[in-house]
Each structure stands twice: as structure tokens, then as C-alpha cells.
Amino acid sequence: MSRNFKTGWCGTILDINLTTGSITKSQLDQNDARLFLGGRGLNSKTLFDRVPPGADPLGPDNILCIAPGVLTATLLGLSSRLQVTTLSPYSGILGDGNAGGAFAYVMKRAGYDQIIISGKAETPHYLWIDDDTVSLLPADDLWGTSVWETTDRLMQRHGKNTSVACIGQAGENLVRLASTMVDKYASAARGSGAVWGSKYLKAIVVRGSQKVALHDRERYLALAKADRKYLAKDSVQQEVSAVYGSHYGMVNWFPGYRNFEKVLPGDAVPEAPEALRPQAWKQYEIGRIGCQSCHIKCKNVYKIPSGNRKGERGEALEYEAIYCMGTNCGIEDPVAILEMENLADIYGVDVIALGNTIALAKDLYNRGIITDADTDGLKLTWEDAEAQIELIHKTVFREGFGNLIAEGLYSLAKHFGPKAMALCYHVKGLSRGPHPPGLYALSHAVSSRGADHLRGRSWSAGDNSSEDILTTLVDRQIISDDPIQSITAGERATAIADTIGRCKGAVNTWACAVPLVWKSGEAWKSDQAGKSEQAGKVGLWDGLAELLTAATGIDFTGDDIADIADRIHAVERAFNIRQGITIEHDRLPQKPEVKKGPEGEKQQMEHFKMLSAYYKKHGYDPDTGIPLPETLQRLAISEIGIRLAEDGPYPLWDGPLLWDPDSYPTGGTRE
């Protein structure tokens, strides 16, 4: 079959050097496109190639990689996700975030597979991309303004059919929890907002009018239509659309309570606060909205009913905001949670990082490990929502105690010493709470951007088990419930979703993350062009391989797709090894009372046994977690191993490189 790197892909990379002001367009490297596709894959490879080990995340050597997926803007449902990748100032390792909205779709239609931002401007600027015309424009008038105001002003200036990615005051003040914000409400986290701020880049505005070419348009559209039809009748998606929206996670999952003192059942059990139950949020909803190309429209639009921000509109309240800013900080007042969600969107901060850092601070305060003298007199009692809101403002403007919160969870714990670190339940600086050894803990431990739920866990057998298709895949023996097999399959699903530009859904399901996955286990059908003569059943990645082939003209197989995911994972691991990550950092966070006793030691041993099996499965050294040369060779990325060996040894990771507390900017005004 012919190879055409302008079907599916646009074929162009946009490279902006803010130090020199140069704007360069180059051809997408064909080898990179075939091996890494787009989105997360392309970004992680670029990050490895261009950011030297030990670079200051807030210095000019760091870069921002911004990419839609290879299938974005092709009429595939849920395919408008944008990947923003950088060396994270929050964690000091690979940091990426995945945002919805319309930016990815419009960027692809403007003709770009990736934007790479390097260097540092001397004054504030924004980038205006109008199809082929790209200009770097002064942004002095926008500096100091919020995400919402910046977006409104730029849309007014450049027209309504544009999309805006930008930062608010948090990014400008180099708050390490700051996000890249897309179209006001969607966010890409892991601290990328501070990297924009460090480069004096306020925003990117894009308008695109070109169609993305497809190799076999008819076949592609037929497959995309079948996928959309399946999703429309999937019971989880129906419930998301018709009932809960973006906070559906509350139904099945378990929010942390008071810095993970325990987890709360989301729905059925009486101890879950009445006002925070999943169905309780419906009363604030005034509508629904979706990202570009998504018929699920999971984002609930709400109006704040009372309090300081009465009448203010907000969008896309998620389970994470309710739990991280709410229950995990001891707040059970829904109106205060809505207010904090809006503040996070206005200032451009990640609700998970902010909530979990404040939860740790509150835990330290309520245990007497820190006092009023440390908090500038702020009384951080668990229930006090007003004090928490004040702390959010202080964090964004780096005032007093807020200047410490702005450095992030791990750095806060480090500042207050071992007693604080014992309560900091993190993996590589990110927190999803303590868990006993097993599938849950392992997936957090090996996630390439630090503990989180979006790198494999939710797709593993036994977790999101209410999902019809996951149960079917396990029944059909396509996915095993062996933890190592299951996590590996889940990791591949998320890497691929982030690479093709597909949303993992409001509830992180296989049916959303992997197009056509529901075909897995069926017998080959005669209408599968070019494959009908094969014996056996459709494999886990075969449907997607067929879709990618129809889009790009490259003959992908299911095995190729699995290899692409494993390749991405290996490159991300290699990047983190250069940042000082070792097997010791793929750790099991434990509560102090567990950690101290023999039970803690037993759990750690069990965890390391699983870790070793996991490394083996991936072709990594079972004792160090470093990808073996033969694995890198099999994945056609031997040069990664050579670079790893050449650049080492690496200083051990101990959080991100910090600045003198007095040297950060502190501009802008409170909203």
C-alpha cells in the first residue's frame, strides 16, 4: 500500500523560538510519524530529543510540545483532544496534560501536527495562527488578566471561529500547579501553565479552514460511523449523557476524605455527605456542552446559586474537583466547591494538584505539625471553606504561605521535613492516595507522569468493571484479569488514545478510549477489506489498526499498535530515568502507621515482586526498570538506549528544581 504522510497527518511541524522570535515550518519526520503517530507519542519523543537531562523546567532549555492526535478533525467521534507535554515544573519529570475543547480540531485544520515552543521572550507575547499565516504578537495588554478575560478579548480581536489556549495569573506567576487552559474551561495539567509563563507566552489563538485528507475516505467514514453507533448505545455513555455528565465518576469510585484518611463511597452508603452525592449536583445544572466532534456532551454547565460568586456560570464540574478541592480537603459545601472550581478555571490552576496540596497543608495544620505562624494566621481547619478560598488566592499570587503551596505537594512536604513527608502520599510528586499492593497501586507506581488514574488503572480488569465492553473483553479472554497483563493493556489503551487524539471519556472507558475495540473477539468479517482471508478472531487493536490504515494509507496491524504504545512508554521511561527516576521511585505510598510496622515491609516486598514482573513483561531490566537494549532494538529506538548510557549517571530525583522563594513574579489582581 502507498505511504502518504499527508493523509491523516498534515505533514507540518511549527517551531517557535521565543528567544530569537523565529517561526519555522518543517516537514513531519516520516519515521517519527510511523513510530509515534501524533499527540502524546510525538510529543514525548520530541521532549526526549530536545530537553537535556537536568534542565530547569522554568528555564529557556525546556520546551512546550502541543499536538492534536493523528485522527483529530477526521469525523471520528471524541477525537478533539490536545496533548500538551513538557518537563514538568510541578514534578520534575515528564509532565503532560490532555485537554478537550476545540483547539486540537482547529489546529489540525490549520495544517499542523505539532507546535514546539522553545526559548524565552523578553516581553509578553501571543501566537496568532491563521491557517498558513503565523505571527508572534505583543501581549503586554493581556498580561495580568485571567484565562476568561484573555480568551474573550482574543476571540473578539480575531473572530469567533477561533480557539484559544492560554494561561491566567497562576501561569504568569510561575505557580507550579498552573495549567494550560483551552477555550476557558478545559485544562492540560502537570504544571505546563508555569512553563508558558516562564517563556512570556500568554496565549495561542488559532483559526483553521483546511480539510484533513484521508487515504480511503469511504472506508474510514464507514468505520467511524459504526463506532459512533456503538457508543450511542453503550450504557455507561448513555448514563453520562442523560444523567450525570462529567462527574459520573462519583457513582462508581471512591473520593478521598481529609488527605486520604479514608475513602468515601460515592453513592449508596449513608456516610457519603448528602449534598455531594452524584445526583445532588443536578440541581445546579443549566445545560450541557461538549468538545468539538463529541456527541456525548459530558460537560455540565452550571450556575452558582449563592455566595460570593452567585450567578456565575461554570462548566465541566468533574469528580476530581469534587473530591480533591472538596472531600479530600474536608469541604462538604457544594457551593464552595463550585466557587473553587471556577476560581481554578479563571486563574488557570489544576484542581487535582491544588486540592491535594491544600489537603496536605490542612492535614499538617490539623495535626499541629504546622501552626498559624506558618500559615500567616490562616486557620486551616478542615471545614473552613472561606480560609481555603483565601489560600487559593494567596497561592495564585504567591502571597505568604501561598508561595509554598504554589511549589506543589512534594516541595511543600520537603519544606516541613520528615513528619510532613510521611503524610505526603505521592508517586514522583503526584498524589492519588495510599493503596495496598495490587493492581491499583502498581498502576500508580509505574505511571510515567507520577501517580494518576489516567495511565492505565481505569482500564484494568476489576476496576471499571461495570463497563459492558470491559466485561465482554475479559469474558472473551481478550483482556486477562492477571494484574500485569491487565495493566499493560490499560497502559496501551491510554497511550494510544492520547496519541490518536481520542477522549478517554467522562468515565475512562475502553469503548471511548479505543475506537472499534468492541469488535475484539468477534470472528473476522468478510467486509474487513484485505483481512477477510485471515483465520481467527479480531484482536484488541485490529479495529483501530484498520481505521488508521484507512486514514493514513500505512498498513498498520494490531501488533504495530501495541508496539507504538510500548515504544511511547519506553521513551517516557527513558526521559524520566534521565531526570533521576529509579526503581525506588516506582514506589508504594503508605500511611505512616502501616509503613512503620512489619505489615508495611511485607506490603513493600509484595509490591516490588509485582514491579519486577511488570518490568519483565515490558522488556525492562527486572532489577532496575531500565529498558533493555534488545527491547529498544525490537521497538526500533535503539538510539534512545545509546543516549541514556551516554548522558548518565543521573542525580537521583528529589522533586523539581526550585527557585529562591523571593525570585518569583507576583503580578495580576484577584478576581
Nearest to 446, CA basis, from 584, 343, 321, 259? 584
Q: Is residue 291 within the footprint of ligand SF4 (CB under 6 A)? A: yes
DSSP string, 618-644: HTB-TTT-PBPHHHHHHTT-HHHHHHH
Per CB under 6 A, 294 contacts ligand SF4:
yes
Q: Which is nearer to ligand SF4, 291 or 493 (CB)?
A: 291
Shortest spacing between CB 252 and ligand SF4, in angstroms: 16
Half-sphere exposure of 410 (CA within 13 A, CB side): 24
The values of phi and psi at residue 96, to 5°, are: -135, 160
User: Which one, of 649, 260, 648, 622, lies nearest residue 451 by Cα?
Assistant: 260
Instruction: Report the residue number, 282 or 310, with the smaller CB distance to ligand SF4.
Output: 282
Site for ligand SF4 in 532-571 (CB under 6 A): none
Residues numbered 437-476 forming contacts with ligand SF4, rule: CB under 6 A: none
Name the strand (E) or helix (H) holding 606: helix 598-618
| SS3 per residue for 52-106 | CCCCCCCCCCCCEEEEECCCCCCCCCCCCCEEEEEECCCCCCEEEEEECCCHHHH
Residues 506-535, one symbol each (x = binds ligand SF4 by CB under 6 A, - = not), give: x-----------------------------
Asked if residue 296 binds ligand SF4 (CB under 6 A), the reply is yes
Burial class (CB in 10 A: 0-12, 13-18, 19+), 594: middle
Nearer to ligand SF4, 185 or 397 (CB): 185
- C-alpha cell at position 610: 509485582
Tell me: does residue 321 bind ligand SF4 (CB under 6 A): no
What is the rounded distance in angstroms from the CA atom of residue 181 to the CA atom of residue 314? 14
Query: 609 CB contacts (<8 Å, ≥6 apart)?
Result: none
The distance of closest approach from Cβ of residue 320 to ligand SF4 in the complex, given in angstroms and rounded to an integer, is: 12
Say how many residues touch ligand SF4, by CB under 6 A. 12
- d(Cα 123, Cα 196) in Å, to the nearest integer? 12
Cβ closest to ligand SF4, residue 124 vs residue 245: 245
Interacting span for ligand SF4 (CB under 6 A) from 248-256, 286-294, 574-582, 600-608: 286-294
- C-alpha to C-alpha distance for 170 and 407, rounded to whole angstroms: 12
DSSP one-letter string for 436-472: -TTHHHHHHHH-BTBS-TTTTGGGSTTTSTT-HHHHH
Q: How far apart are the C-alpha atoms of 296 and 239, rounded to whole Å?
A: 10
In the bound complex, what is the minimum distance in angstroms from residue 453's beta carbon to ligand SF4? Answer: 15
Residue 631: half-sphere exposure toward Cβ, Cα within 13 Å: 24
What is the closest distance, in whole angstroms, from the C-beta atom of residue 452 to ligand SF4 in the complex? 16
Q: Of 8-16, 30-38, 403-411, 503-511, which part binds ligand SF4 (CB under 6 A)?
A: 503-511
Q: Of the candidates 166, 321, 503, 635, which one interacts with ligand SF4 according to CB under 6 A?
A: 503
φ, ψ at 15 (rounded to 5°): -115, 120
Ranges of H-type helices in 256-331:
319-321
Is position 100 an interface residue for ligand SF4 (rule: CB under 6 A)?
yes
Interface with ligand SF4 (CB under 6 A), residue from 299, 362, 519, 569: 299
Distances (CA, A) of 260 to 63, 254, 405: 34, 10, 18
Shortest distance, position 495 Cβ to ligand SF4, whole Å: 17
Q: Binding ligand SF4 by CB under 6 A: which of 158, 228, 277, 297?
A: 297
CB nearer to ligand SF4: pick between 100 and 326: 100
Q: Which CB atom, from 77 or from 433, has the smaller least distance to ligand SF4?
A: 77
Q: Which segments of 220-269 are extended strands (E)?
A: 256-257, 262-263
- Rounded to a whole number of angstroms, the minimum distance from the CB of residue 508 to ligand SF4 is 10
Please identify which residue in 168, 197, 255, 290 interacts with ligand SF4, judged by CB under 6 A: 290
Build a one-symbol-per-residue string for 19-58: x at contacts with ligand SF4 by CB under 6 A, - elsewhere. Answer: ----------------------------------------
Pick the piece of the chain touching ligand SF4 (CB under 6 A) from 254-262, 265-273, 500-508, 601-609.
500-508
* 78 contributes a contact to ligand SF4 by CB under 6 A: yes
Piece of the chain touching ligand SF4 by CB under 6 A; list 110-118, 292-300, 337-345, 620-628: 292-300
Stretch of 141-149, 203-211, 264-272, 290-298 contacting ligand SF4, by CB under 6 A: 290-298
Residues of this chain that bind ligand SF4 (CB under 6 A): 78, 100, 290-291, 294, 296-299, 503, 505-506
